[in-house]
Amino acid sequence: MPEDWGDSEDFVTDRGAPDRFGVPPNLMGRHPEEFFSILGRMVALTAILENKILIFYQYLVGRRQDEHTGLFVGQLITNALGGLHPLPPRDRQVGEDFLLEAKAITDKRNDYVHNLWPAQGDGRLFGWRAVSKKKAPAASMTTEGTLEEMRSDLTRLVDLLEVNRLNNFLGLVSGGQHLEG
Protein backbone atom coordinates (compact mmCIF):
# COMPACT_ATOMS: atom_id res chain seq x y z
CA MET A 1 0.00 0.00 0.00
CA PRO A 2 1.45 3.46 -0.90
CA GLU A 3 2.81 5.49 2.01
CA ASP A 4 0.44 8.44 1.48
CA TRP A 5 -2.57 6.20 2.15
CA GLY A 6 -1.66 5.85 5.80
CA ASP A 7 -1.99 2.52 7.51
CA SER A 8 -4.50 -0.01 6.20
CA GLU A 9 -6.91 0.51 9.11
CA ASP A 10 -7.24 4.24 8.32
CA PHE A 11 -7.74 3.45 4.65
CA VAL A 12 -10.67 1.12 5.39
CA THR A 13 -12.24 3.65 7.78
CA ASP A 14 -11.87 6.54 5.30
CA ARG A 15 -13.90 4.84 2.60
CA GLY A 16 -16.97 4.53 4.84
CA ALA A 17 -19.05 1.60 5.88
CA PRO A 18 -20.28 -0.68 3.12
CA ASP A 19 -23.99 -0.91 2.45
CA ARG A 20 -25.98 -3.90 3.66
CA PHE A 21 -24.81 -5.91 0.62
CA GLY A 22 -21.13 -5.24 1.34
CA VAL A 23 -20.58 -2.62 -1.39
CA PRO A 24 -18.32 0.19 -0.15
CA PRO A 25 -19.35 3.76 -1.04
CA ASN A 26 -16.08 4.45 -2.86
CA LEU A 27 -17.27 2.28 -5.77
CA MET A 28 -20.41 4.25 -6.72
CA GLY A 29 -21.30 6.51 -3.85
CA ARG A 30 -24.63 6.13 -2.11
CA HIS A 31 -27.75 5.60 -4.18
CA PRO A 32 -31.26 5.15 -2.80
CA GLU A 33 -32.27 1.48 -2.62
CA GLU A 34 -35.10 2.29 -5.05
CA PHE A 35 -32.50 2.90 -7.79
CA PHE A 36 -31.21 -0.66 -7.49
CA SER A 37 -34.69 -2.07 -7.04
CA ILE A 38 -35.91 -0.49 -10.28
CA LEU A 39 -32.70 -1.42 -12.09
CA GLY A 40 -33.07 -5.07 -11.07
CA ARG A 41 -36.70 -5.18 -12.17
CA MET A 42 -35.81 -3.64 -15.52
CA VAL A 43 -33.13 -6.29 -16.06
CA ALA A 44 -35.45 -9.16 -15.13
CA LEU A 45 -38.43 -7.86 -17.08
CA THR A 46 -36.48 -7.08 -20.24
CA ALA A 47 -35.24 -10.68 -20.18
CA ILE A 48 -38.90 -11.71 -20.41
CA LEU A 49 -39.48 -9.17 -23.20
CA GLU A 50 -36.44 -10.42 -25.14
CA ASN A 51 -37.71 -13.99 -24.87
CA LYS A 52 -41.16 -13.01 -26.17
CA ILE A 53 -39.63 -11.11 -29.10
CA LEU A 54 -37.50 -14.17 -29.92
CA ILE A 55 -40.63 -16.36 -29.89
CA PHE A 56 -42.49 -13.84 -32.05
CA TYR A 57 -39.67 -13.76 -34.59
CA GLN A 58 -39.35 -17.56 -34.68
CA TYR A 59 -43.09 -17.85 -35.41
CA LEU A 60 -42.97 -14.95 -37.87
CA VAL A 61 -40.33 -16.63 -40.05
CA GLY A 62 -41.44 -20.21 -39.39
CA ARG A 63 -38.37 -21.41 -37.55
CA ARG A 64 -37.74 -23.89 -34.76
CA GLN A 65 -37.30 -22.94 -31.09
CA ASP A 66 -33.55 -23.46 -31.27
CA GLU A 67 -33.03 -21.06 -34.18
CA HIS A 68 -32.12 -17.37 -33.89
CA THR A 69 -31.32 -17.77 -30.19
CA GLY A 70 -27.90 -16.16 -30.66
CA LEU A 71 -29.27 -12.84 -31.91
CA PHE A 72 -29.25 -9.79 -29.67
CA VAL A 73 -32.66 -8.28 -28.97
CA GLY A 74 -31.90 -5.28 -31.20
CA GLN A 75 -31.19 -7.64 -34.11
CA LEU A 76 -34.38 -9.59 -33.39
CA ILE A 77 -36.44 -6.40 -33.39
CA THR A 78 -34.85 -5.16 -36.62
CA ASN A 79 -35.37 -8.52 -38.31
CA ALA A 80 -38.95 -8.77 -37.08
CA LEU A 81 -39.76 -5.24 -38.27
CA GLY A 82 -38.40 -6.18 -41.68
CA GLY A 83 -40.40 -9.39 -41.76
CA LEU A 84 -43.89 -8.09 -40.94
CA HIS A 85 -44.96 -7.82 -44.62
CA PRO A 86 -46.87 -11.16 -44.76
CA LEU A 87 -49.25 -9.96 -42.03
CA PRO A 88 -52.51 -8.17 -42.84
CA PRO A 89 -52.13 -4.35 -42.59
CA ARG A 90 -53.90 -4.06 -39.22
CA ASP A 91 -51.81 -6.86 -37.69
CA ARG A 92 -48.66 -5.41 -39.25
CA GLN A 93 -49.38 -2.09 -37.50
CA VAL A 94 -49.96 -3.78 -34.14
CA GLY A 95 -46.70 -5.69 -34.53
CA GLU A 96 -44.78 -2.60 -35.59
CA ASP A 97 -46.12 -0.53 -32.70
CA PHE A 98 -45.18 -3.23 -30.20
CA LEU A 99 -41.70 -3.74 -31.66
CA LEU A 100 -40.94 -0.01 -31.81
CA GLU A 101 -41.93 0.40 -28.16
CA ALA A 102 -39.83 -2.67 -27.31
CA LYS A 103 -36.88 -1.08 -29.14
CA ALA A 104 -37.22 2.14 -27.16
CA ILE A 105 -37.44 0.26 -23.87
CA THR A 106 -34.53 -2.09 -24.58
CA ASP A 107 -32.40 0.92 -25.59
CA LYS A 108 -33.20 2.50 -22.19
CA ARG A 109 -32.42 -0.82 -20.49
CA ASN A 110 -29.03 -0.85 -22.21
CA ASP A 111 -28.32 2.64 -20.88
CA TYR A 112 -29.25 1.59 -17.36
CA VAL A 113 -27.32 -1.68 -17.43
CA HIS A 114 -24.15 -0.68 -19.27
CA ASN A 115 -23.57 2.76 -17.75
CA LEU A 116 -21.51 3.54 -14.69
CA TRP A 117 -23.67 5.39 -12.15
CA PRO A 118 -21.56 7.53 -9.81
CA ALA A 119 -23.83 9.01 -7.15
CA GLN A 120 -24.45 12.74 -7.49
CA GLY A 121 -24.70 15.03 -4.47
CA ASP A 122 -27.93 16.60 -5.73
CA GLY A 123 -29.70 13.25 -6.13
CA ARG A 124 -29.98 13.31 -9.93
CA LEU A 125 -28.98 10.25 -11.87
CA PHE A 126 -25.90 10.50 -14.04
CA GLY A 127 -24.65 7.53 -16.02
CA TRP A 128 -21.85 7.31 -18.53
CA ARG A 129 -19.96 4.74 -20.51
CA ALA A 130 -17.23 4.52 -23.08
CA VAL A 131 -18.45 3.63 -26.55
CA SER A 132 -16.58 2.06 -29.40
CA LYS A 133 -15.84 4.36 -32.31
CA LYS A 134 -17.74 1.94 -34.57
CA LYS A 135 -20.99 2.63 -32.70
CA ALA A 136 -20.73 6.35 -32.06
CA PRO A 137 -18.54 9.29 -33.02
CA ALA A 138 -18.02 10.26 -29.37
CA ALA A 139 -15.71 8.39 -27.02
CA SER A 140 -18.34 8.32 -24.28
CA MET A 141 -22.07 8.51 -23.82
CA THR A 142 -23.97 10.02 -20.90
CA THR A 143 -27.47 9.57 -19.54
CA GLU A 144 -29.05 11.93 -17.06
CA GLY A 145 -32.37 11.65 -15.32
CA THR A 146 -34.27 11.23 -12.11
CA LEU A 147 -35.76 8.38 -10.13
CA GLU A 148 -39.17 9.54 -11.38
CA GLU A 149 -38.03 9.06 -14.99
CA MET A 150 -36.64 5.67 -14.08
CA ARG A 151 -39.99 4.72 -12.52
CA SER A 152 -41.71 5.87 -15.71
CA ASP A 153 -39.42 3.67 -17.84
CA LEU A 154 -40.26 0.71 -15.63
CA THR A 155 -43.98 1.45 -15.98
CA ARG A 156 -43.64 1.53 -19.80
CA LEU A 157 -41.96 -1.87 -19.66
CA VAL A 158 -44.62 -3.33 -17.38
CA ASP A 159 -47.34 -1.93 -19.68
CA LEU A 160 -45.71 -3.56 -22.70
CA LEU A 161 -45.65 -6.90 -20.88
CA GLU A 162 -49.29 -6.61 -19.78
CA VAL A 163 -50.75 -10.04 -20.50
CA ASN A 164 -53.47 -8.97 -22.97
CA ARG A 165 -51.12 -6.75 -24.95
CA LEU A 166 -48.42 -9.41 -24.99
CA ASN A 167 -50.85 -12.16 -26.01
CA ASN A 168 -52.26 -9.93 -28.77
CA PHE A 169 -48.72 -9.40 -30.09
CA LEU A 170 -47.81 -13.10 -29.98
CA GLY A 171 -51.20 -14.03 -31.43
CA LEU A 172 -50.36 -12.17 -34.63
CA VAL A 173 -48.11 -15.05 -35.68
CA SER A 174 -48.79 -18.01 -33.39
CA GLY A 175 -51.31 -19.66 -35.72
CA GLY A 176 -48.94 -19.55 -38.67
CA GLN A 177 -51.64 -18.30 -41.08
CA HIS A 178 -49.20 -15.73 -42.47
CA LEU A 179 -46.91 -18.59 -43.59
CA GLU A 180 -49.60 -20.29 -45.68
CA GLY A 181 -49.96 -19.48 -49.33
11: containing domain = 1-30
Helix, strand, or coil (residue 144): strand
For position 136, what pLDDT does the model report? 63
Q: Say if residue 17 is in the same domain as residue 103.
A: no
For position 126, what pLDDT does the model report? 94
Q: In the chain, how many domains are there? A: 2
Q: Say if residue 24 is in the same domain as residue 39.
A: no
Global pTM value:
0.83
Q: Say if residue 26 is in the same domain as residue 45.
A: no
Q: Say if residue 81 is in the same domain as residue 154.
A: yes
Tell me how far apart the alpha carbons of residues 61 and 81 are, in angstroms, rounded to a whole number: 12
Q: Which of 12-16, 77-81, 86-90, 176-180 has the lowest mean pLDDT?
A: 12-16
Q: Say if residue 26 is in the same domain as residue 57.
A: no
Sequence letter at residue 110: N
Q: Say if residue 3 is in the same domain as residue 65.
A: no
| Greatest mean pLDDT among 13-17, 123-127, 134-138 | 123-127
Please provide residue 90's backbone torsions phi and psi, each rounded to the nearest 5 degrees.
Answer: -65, -45
Contact status, residue 57 vs residue 80, Cβ threshold 8 Å: yes
For position 3, what pLDDT does the model report? 44
Contact status, residue 166 vs residue 52, Cβ threshold 8 Å: yes
Helix, strand, or coil (residue 73): helix
Q: Say if residue 100 is in the same domain as residue 165.
A: yes
Q: Which of 24-28, 33-37, 176-180 has the lowest mean pLDDT?
A: 176-180
pLDDT in tens, 59-117: 999 877 787 888 899 999 999 999 999 999 999 999 999 999 999 999 999 999 999 99
Q: Say if residue 134 is in the same domain as residue 160.
A: yes
For position 178, what pLDDT does the model report? 86
Give the contacts of 137 (CB within 8 A, at least 6 positions apart). Answer: none
pLDDT, average across residues 30-40: 94
Q: Say if residue 3 is in the same domain as residue 40.
A: no
pLDDT, average across residues 150-154: 97
Q: Say if residue 48 is in the same domain as residue 23.
A: no
- Residue 9, pLDDT above cutoff 50: no
Contact status, residue 68 vs residue 80, Cβ threshold 8 Å: no
Q: Say if residue 8 is in the same domain as residue 95.
A: no
Q: Say if residue 12 is in the same domain as residue 74.
A: no
